Amino acid sequence: MAGGSRIPSEAKLVEQLGASRMTIHIALRDLSAEGVLLRRQGAGTFVAPRRIQSTFLELRNIHAEIESRGNRHSTDVLCMEVLNCDMAVATEMSIAPGSPVFHSVLVHRENGSPIQVEDRYVNPQFSADYLEQDFTTITPNEHLMAAGPLEEVEHVVQAIPADESNSALLDMKAGDPVLLLRRRTWSRGMIASSARLAHPGARFSLAGRMSVKH
């Protein structure tokens, strides 16, 4: 139901559902406390507008972000492969060492200037056709969101010096600060994907603003 739209009053829900008013009242009260509904005494009960939630924890979508700034997004695909995972990747993805994983490396550009190196591992059990996608027209993020419901996200942010590979790809000098966002996503009970998103410190920041409840 769309945010802001009104839902039936307690009295009407009593009729429709056959439960007592107190039962319904407490259920609505809980949903209100969770932020799902907004209730105004004397006025009614409404579906809450989507939660104001900053881009830290939300799944940031690089494509949408660049477009929202009115700029042009383009992608270079550097690597698309399947490989047998080593110990580090196996631990990171919680899968058996040596089992196959998909691996991709992309560079995202804003008006031609490199803004993110996306080094991503994907669980084949989550998305069997990952390597068949054309990532110049759809982002891995978008493909994965369509492949299954997002259940959990983990983010770690670090500032690290650019290594030779990153510095070349991001048009920086080696040792310059890189803002590294590591993200793991869970879906259908497994780790769907683990990504390292490296950004040039000089040209990139993560911002978020939120209201605090109560």
Instruction: Report the distance separating Cα 83 and Cα 145, nearest Å.
Output: 23
Asked if 190 interacts with a second copy (CB under 8 A), we say no
* Partner whose binding site includes residue 151, from a second copy, DNA, none (CB under 5 to 8 Å by kind): a second copy
The sign of the CA dihedral 62, 65, 67, 72 is negative
* Partner whose binding site includes residue 212, from a second copy, DNA, none (CB under 5 to 8 Å by kind): a second copy
Q: Give the tokens for residue 76.
A: 């270079």
Asked if 19 interacts with a second copy (CB under 8 A), we say no
The closest alpha carbon to 3, from 53, 51, 41, belongs to: 51
Specify the residue, 18 or 189, whose C-beta has the smaller distance to DNA. 18
Asked if 176 interacts with a second copy (CB under 8 A), we say yes
Question: Phi and psi of 74, rounded to 5°?
Answer: -135, 160
* Type of residue numbered 13: L
* Partner whose binding site includes residue 114, from a second copy, DNA, none (CB under 5 to 8 Å by kind): none
Q: Give the tokens for residue 14.
A: 């009593």
Instruction: Report the distance separating Cα 90 and Cα 119, nearest Å.
Output: 15
* Partner whose binding site includes residue 205, from a second copy, DNA, none (CB under 5 to 8 Å by kind): a second copy
Span from 19-27, 71-79, 171-179, 187-195 in contact with DNA (CB under 7 A): 19-27
Query: Which residues neighbour 90 within 8 Å (Cβ) at sequence distance 6 or greater?
Result: 96, 97, 98, 99
Q: Give the tokens for residue 108.
A: 């995202």
Asked if 214 interacts with DNA (CB under 7 A), we say no
- Footprint (CB under 7 A) of DNA, residues 30-69: 32, 39-45
* Partner whose binding site includes residue 87, from DNA, a second copy, none (CB under 5 to 8 Å by kind): none
Instruction: Report the distance separating Cα 192 and Cα 188, nearest Å.
Output: 8
Q: CB of residue 84 vs a second copy: minimum separation in angstroms?
A: 28
Asked if 68 interacts with a second copy (CB under 8 A), we say no
Specify the residue, 8 or 124, whose C-beta has the smaller distance to DNA. 8
The closest alpha carbon to 45, from 20, 11, 17, belongs to: 11
Q: Give the tokens for residue 48.
A: 């809450």
Q: CB of residue 44 vs DNA: minimum separation in angstroms?
A: 4
Interaction site with DNA (CB under 7 A): 9-12, 18-23, 25-26, 28-29, 32, 39-45
